């Protein structure tokens, strides 16, 4: 018997084995975005209570996905994104106001 015939028989046997069959029920949905990196970066903005809330939403989204709640993870990830964006905007406003006050009231 040739090597090619043995390989094709082996491949056919492996394809039909129950261990290689994948049920569609066991396949999970892809993980929704939790924006963890973005929320970590927002922790460097000077809007401290808000960026920590974004970080907590991101961690809660990760925990919801690990618990099997896909829709809850998606909702919490979306909340983490919006709170992180608000934190960045507020942080930039605080920096802008600080620089404006500092450079306009600087006495010689």
Q: What is the pLDDT of residue 19?
A: 60
Lowest mean pLDDT among 7-11, 77-81, 101-105: 7-11
pLDDT tens by residue, 24-61: 555 678 999 999 999 999 999 999 999 999 999 999 99
Q: What is the pLDDT of residue 29?
A: 83
Where in the chain are the domains?
32-108
Q: What angle do CA 97, 42, 96 make, to 5 degrees?
A: 10
Contact by Cβ (8 Å): 76, 33 = no
Q: What is the pLDDT of residue 10?
A: 57
Rounded Cα gap, residues 91 and 102, in angstroms? 16
**Sorting pLDDT into bands at 50, 70 and 90, what band is 18?**
low
pTM over 0.75: no
Helix, strand or coil, per DSSP, at residue 26: coil
pLDDT tens by residue, 57-88: 999 999 999 999 999 999 999 999 999 999 99
HSE toward the beta carbon, residue 30, CA cutoff 13 A: 2
């Amino acid at each position: 018997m040739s090597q090619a015939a043995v390989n094709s028989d082996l491949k056919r046997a492996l394809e039909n084995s129950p261990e290689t069959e994948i049920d569609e029920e066991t396949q999970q949905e892809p993980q929704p975005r939790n924006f963890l990196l973005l929320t970590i970066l927002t922790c460097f903005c000077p809007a401290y209570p808000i960026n920590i809330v974004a970080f907590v939403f991101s961690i809660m989204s990760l925990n919801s996905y690990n618990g099997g709640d896909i829709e809850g993870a998606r909702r919490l990830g979306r909340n983490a994104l919006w709170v992180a964006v608000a934190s960045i905007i507020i942080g930039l406003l605080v920096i802008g106001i600080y620089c404006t006050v500092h450079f306009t009231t600087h006495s010689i």
